[in-house]
Chain A
Amino acid sequence: MTGEMTVSEKVFRAHLENGPFQSGVARKSWRFISINWPHAIIAVSAATLKEVATEFYLRFELTDYPQTVPTAQSWDNEKNMLLEPNNRPCGGRAAMAFRTDWEGGQALYLPCDRRAITTHPDWRDKHPSMIWSPAGDITQYLRIVYDLLNSQDYSGIQGS
């Protein structure tokens, strides 16, 4: 076994350097944290509430990227584990996406997530604008999460 990068990892790393991802970095919408293939961690910014700026870490599993839909976990980057329920976003659609009462909170409850779409095939018709396209890049997923965390629904962290 050599340490040679897979094609998927090469494509993913190239996407991180491209305009769509870097534009989000420049706008402080998200930032790259780390890669340990097939996982990658990216922080997504949430709306500033009560003068507190927050970001949430997503730990992506990216096997066969971008042909296969990614799946992401809400992640505690300090403890290197799933983010505890009390530290997850709350409020309407944001809370729903980060829910912990479905699949043990192991994936985001969104149509762009592999784990979620696999168990909700009807979402392809209900939410066509949120379906992963292999022709796109990771910003498809990030934009959906960023929009939720910066929507009127988002009301902070559950335990705060």
Chain B
Amino acid sequence: MKHIEIFLQGEGIKDIVLLKVPQDGIVQDIVNVAKADGHIYGDEASYIVYLEDAENILDTKATLSAAGISHRTHVHISRCLKVKVTVNFNGGSKTIDFPPPTTIRHVKKWATSKSVFDLTETDAGTHVLQICGSNTRPAEDIHIGALVTCPDCLICFDLAPVIRVEG
């Protein structure tokens, strides 16, 4: 049986994982292999599979190719349907629901947009999302669903300035 590798992020998965799944398999195989490899726990039926930065839930019975998954596609697995995201900036606070496979890049783009905190392009380039109450600044390709746990499915960020390295 031929296999392909996919990049998997998801709830409870610490890092980006390379997962080997059957090339002719179905979406459910991703859940099954993730569980067999010890990346997820509990009832497989409660997990949902998404493509990166996509809103639609993938049909677990669909073939990987029909679901748009090929070698080295970025995929997300979660029990959350939505993630409630709060972003704080300059004394203000905004909250929105995003799908779990939404990247940090996408959330920052939303937070800095005209309708939210209205940062100029220059200011947006000198700010990053930092998890509230921590020093953690997730990379732009990290999925927000990888930073939460079900059933809470929520996360808070501060839009924090990039401090110049000098001195």
Tell me if A19 and B16 are in contact (CB < 8 A).
yes
Q: Mark A122-156, 1 if CB is under 8 A from B, else 0.
A: 11001111100000000000010001000111000
Tell me if A26 and B7 are in contact (CB < 8 A).
yes
Check: A62 CB closer than 8 A to any chain B CB: no
- Nearest chain A CB to B18 CB, angstrom units: 4
The A-contacting residues of B in range 59-112, CB under 8 angstroms, are 72, 74
Check: A109 CB closer than 8 A to any chain B CB: yes
Q: Find A19's partner among B8, B137, B163, B167 (CB 8 Å cutoff).
A: B8
Question: Chain A contacts of B136 at CB under 8 A?
Answer: 129
- Nearest chain A CB to B72 CB, angstrom units: 5
Q: Give Cα A100–Cα B163 distance, bound, in whole angstroms.
A: 21
**A18-B15 CB under 8 A given contacts A23-B7, A23-B141, A143-B139:** yes
Tell me if A130 and B165 are in contact (CB < 8 A).
yes
Q: Give Cα A126–Cα B167 distance, bound, in whole angstroms.
A: 11
Q: Find A129's partner among B5, B17, B126, B130 (CB 8 Å cutoff).
A: B130
Chain B CB within 10 Å — which of A17, A110, A147 has the most? A147
Tell me if A18 and B18 are in contact (CB < 8 A).
yes
Question: Chain A contacts of B162 at CB under 8 A?
Answer: 93
Tell me if B165 and A23 are in contact (CB < 8 A).
no
Q: Find B165's partner among A26, A127, A143, A151 (CB 8 Å cutoff).
A: A127
The A-contacting residues of B in range 96-136, CB under 8 angstroms, are 121-122, 125-126, 130, 135-136
Q: Mark A32-72, 1 if CB is under 8 A from B, else 0.
A: 00000000000000000000000000000000000000000
Check: A120 CB closer than 8 A to any chain B CB: yes
Tell me if B72 and A26 are in contact (CB < 8 A).
yes
Check: A87 CB closer than 8 A to any chain B CB: no
Question: Chain B contacts of A26 at CB under 8 A?
Answer: 7, 72
Given contacts A96-B165, A126-B167, A130-B165, 14 further A-B contacts (CB under 8 A): A18-B15, A19-B18, A20-B16, A23-B74, A26-B72, A93-B165, A96-B164, A109-B165, A111-B165, A127-B163, A147-B139, A152-B121, A152-B125, A153-B125
List chain B positions with a Cβ less than 8 A from chain A: 5, 7-8, 15-18, 72, 74, 121-122, 125-126, 130, 135-137, 139-141, 162-167
List chain A positions with a Cβ less than 8 A from chain B: 17-20, 22-23, 26-27, 92-93, 96-97, 109-111, 120, 122-123, 126-130, 143, 147, 151-153
